[in-house]
């Protein structure tokens, strides 16, 4: 039995049992963050806030949503949107947040790529982050099924068809995934389960892993400078706050985090109330009809680059390219052969590689939305080939990079 003394206060009582002071120091007041960072470093907190918005709005949607093919559409568009007080607000928040979270994820990801925050001890942060991207993608896809509109149904049909594996003709697998020959009640029920329970649990676990992976290596900084956190922390605690290269996570960094969050929320709520069409596609306001395909089927914007890599090629090649695209980002720490962990601006060809990748993914995104005809399909093909070429080139470029 460990030694316990008579408590002097409630705080002391809790401290003896839960070590709250230690936890507070490790997670908040003595978690040292470099000062040399910019507002892009706040994207993590922005993601936490957005995830919280999704969770809370999701809770109120869940109270009234009915997961049957007969009732789903009306439970959302009549009950929640018309009958429930503020139901429309939770739905708008949920739909907009589900789309905007990917904008922030991509900014967060590309910040990491630019500043080399996946290297030198930070590989697990990158990998857990990419796993979070996969989990959020699955969560977004499963959530999109739930209103059971035309886009829900046909996106469900198309994406599950991918699992037939082209020439493999694994139709049995496709039927097993759906629980039926076509997306129907079984399909809706299982994606409801995934969206409401299993994937959120996975996301919360992965967030824990992501934070844990960040704690030891500490946050990166704008110059890729290797900081002696213990020495700088000592300077700070001895009173030289201005001279120290680090600051406390709470409240120093959190104050800046909150400022960025404030600006973000202005942008976010503007979208929620005044410009939400991008997140709630008109096609999904038609009830699902298995006997009528919409004139244009397309995924949500954040899946378009990936979708476009699939499209230009013949079925089997397309599937292989698609699988490549899903996995290749995960391999970044190991494909980058250079020891330099500085911003891309100081990394010669890697700098060009970075901007080329970003612009290429934007091109893929734009083409993914457009009908695959004429110049659009040509640009899409070239962009898909460039994507593959860039990743193949990465080890080569970085192997010959001059040490900074």
H-helix or E-strand spanning residue 246: strand 246-248
Q: By C-beta, is 13 or 88 nearer to another protein?
A: 88
Residue 78 interacts with another protein (CB under 8 A): yes or no: yes
Using DSSP's 3-state secondary structure scheme, residue 247 falls into strand
Given phi > 0 = left and psi -120 to 50 = alpha, else beta, which region is 5?
Answer: beta
Residues 180, 153: contact at Cβ < 8 Å?
A: no
Give the dihedral of Cα atoms 277, 207, 115, 233; nearest 10 deg: 130
Stretch in the footprint of another protein (CB under 8 A) among 8-16, 21-29, 190-198, 254-262: 254-262
Using DSSP's 3-state secondary structure scheme, residue 301 falls into helix
Residue 295 interacts with another protein (CB under 8 A): yes or no: yes
**Which member of 128, 142, 220, 365 binds another protein (CB under 8 A)?**
365
**Which member of 201, 204, 259, 404 binds another protein (CB under 8 A)?**
259
Residue 81 interacts with another protein (CB under 8 A): yes or no: yes
Compute the distance between CA of residue 162 and CA of residue 183 in angstroms, rounded to an integer.
14
Stretch in the footprint of another protein (CB under 8 A) among 164-172, 224-232, 264-272, 324-332: 264-272
Size of the residue set binding another protein (CB under 8 A): 64
CB of 315 to another protein, least distance (A): 24
Q: What value, to the nearest 5°, has the Cα angle with vertex 20 and ends 15 and 22? A: 105
**Which member of 23, 362, 389, 399 binds another protein (CB under 8 A)?**
362
Residue 263 interacts with another protein (CB under 8 A): yes or no: yes
CB of 132 to another protein, least distance (A): 20
- For residues 151-180, b (16+ Cβ closer than 10 Å) or e, as one string? bbbbbbbebbeebbbeeeeeeeebbebbee
Count of residues for the chain? Answer: 404
Residue 224 interacts with another protein (CB under 8 A): yes or no: no
Residue 77 interacts with another protein (CB under 8 A): yes or no: yes
In this structure, the number of other CB atoms found within 10 A of the CB of residue 94 comes to: 24
Residue 238 interacts with another protein (CB under 8 A): yes or no: no
Compute the distance between CA of residue 222 and CA of residue 24 in angstroms, rounded to an integer.
27
What are the structure tokens assigned to 124, written together?
Answer: 């697990």
Site map (CB under 8 A) of another protein, residues 19-38, x = contact: ----------------xx-x
H-helix or E-strand spanning residue 14: helix 10-18
Q: By C-beta, is 88 or 400 nearer to another protein?
A: 88
What is the DSSP track for 305-359?
Answer: HHHHHHTTS-HHHHHHHHHHHHHHGGGHHHH------S-GGGSTHHHHHHHHHHH
Tell me the C-alpha to C-alpha distance, in Å, between residue 96 and each of 50, 52, 232, 261. Answer: 10, 13, 41, 16
Residue 235 interacts with another protein (CB under 8 A): yes or no: no
Residues 32, 247: contact at Cβ < 8 Å?
A: yes
Site map (CB under 8 A) of another protein, residues 35-74, x = contact: xx-xxx---------------x---x--x-----------
H-helix or E-strand spanning residue 248: strand 246-248
Phi and psi at 261, nearest 5°, equal: -60, -40
Query: Both ends of the chain: CA-CA distance in Å?
Result: 54
In the region spanning residues 275 to 294, those forming contacts with another protein, defined by CB under 8 A, are: 277-278, 280, 282-286
CB of 38 to another protein, least distance (A): 5
**Which member of 16, 29, 222, 377 binds another protein (CB under 8 A)?**
222
Q: By C-beta, is 194 or 272 nearer to another protein?
A: 272
Stretch in the footprint of another protein (CB under 8 A) among 13-21, 83-91, 118-126, 167-175: 83-91
In the region spanning residues 330 to 359, those forming contacts with another protein, defined by CB under 8 A, are: 358
Q: By C-beta, is 90 or 319 nearer to another protein?
A: 90
**Which member of 89, 131, 162, 388 binds another protein (CB under 8 A)?**
89
What are the structure tokens assigned to 301, written together?
Answer: 């914007």
CB of 376 to another protein, least distance (A): 8
Compute the distance between CA of residue 361 and CA of residue 329 in angstroms, rounded to an integer.
13
Question: Residues in the site for another protein, rule: CB under 8 A?
Answer: 35-36, 38-40, 56, 60, 63, 77-79, 81-90, 92, 103, 107, 222, 241-242, 247, 251-252, 255-256, 258-259, 261-263, 265-266, 269-270, 272-274, 277-278, 280, 282-286, 295-296, 301, 304, 358, 362, 365-366, 369-371, 376
């Amino acid at each position: 039995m460990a030694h316990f003394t008579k408590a002097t206060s409630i705080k002391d009582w809790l401290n003896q049992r839960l070590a709250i002071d230690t936890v507070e120091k490790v997670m908040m007041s003595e978690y040292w963050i470099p000062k040399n960072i910019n507002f892009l470093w706040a994207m993590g907190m922005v993601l936490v806030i957005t995830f919280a918005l999704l969770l809370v709005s999701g809770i109120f949607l869940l109270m009234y949503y009915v997961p049957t093919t007969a009732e789903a559409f009306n439970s959302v568009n009549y009950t929640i949107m018309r009958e429930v007080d503020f139901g429309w607000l939770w739905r708008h928040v949920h739909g907009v947040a589900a789309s905007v979270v990917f904008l922030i994820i991509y900014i967060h990801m590309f910040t990491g790529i630019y500043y080399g925050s996946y290297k030198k001890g930070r590989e697990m942060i990158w990998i857990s982050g990419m796993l979070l991207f996969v989990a959020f993608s699955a969560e977004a896809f499963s959530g999109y099924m739930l209103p059971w509109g035309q886009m829900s149904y046909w996106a469900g049909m198309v994406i599950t068809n991918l699992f037939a594996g082209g020439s493999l003709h694994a139709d049995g697998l496709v039927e097993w995934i759906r629980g039926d020959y076509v997306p129907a009640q079984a399909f809706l029920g299982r994606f409801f389960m995934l969206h409401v329970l299993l994937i959120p649990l996975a996301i919360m676990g992965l967030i824990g892993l992501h934070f844990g992976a960040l704690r030891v290596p500490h946050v990166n900084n704008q110059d890729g400078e290797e900081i002696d956190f213990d020495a700088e922390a000592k300077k700070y605690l001895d009173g030289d706050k201005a001279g120290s290269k680090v600051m406390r996570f709470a409240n120093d960094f959190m104050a800046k985090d909150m400022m960025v969050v404030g600006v973000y929320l202005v942008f976010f709520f503007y979208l929620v109330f005044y410009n939400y069409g991008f997140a709630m596609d008109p096609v999904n306001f038609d009830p699902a009809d298995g006997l009528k395909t919409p004139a244009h089927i397309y995924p949500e914007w954040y899946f378009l680059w990936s979708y476009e890599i699939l499209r230009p090629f013949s079925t089997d090649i397309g599937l292989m390219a698609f699988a490549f695209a899903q996995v290749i980002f995960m391999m970044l720490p190991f494909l980058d052969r250079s020891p330099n962990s500085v911003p891309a601006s100081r990394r010669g060809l890697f700098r060009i590689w970075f901007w080329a990748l970003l612009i290429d993914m934007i091109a893929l995104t734009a083409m993914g939305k457009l009908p695959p005809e004429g110049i659009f399909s040509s640009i899409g093909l070239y962009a898909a080939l460039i994507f593959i070429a860039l990743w193949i080139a990465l080890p080569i470029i970085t192997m010959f990079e001059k040490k900074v």
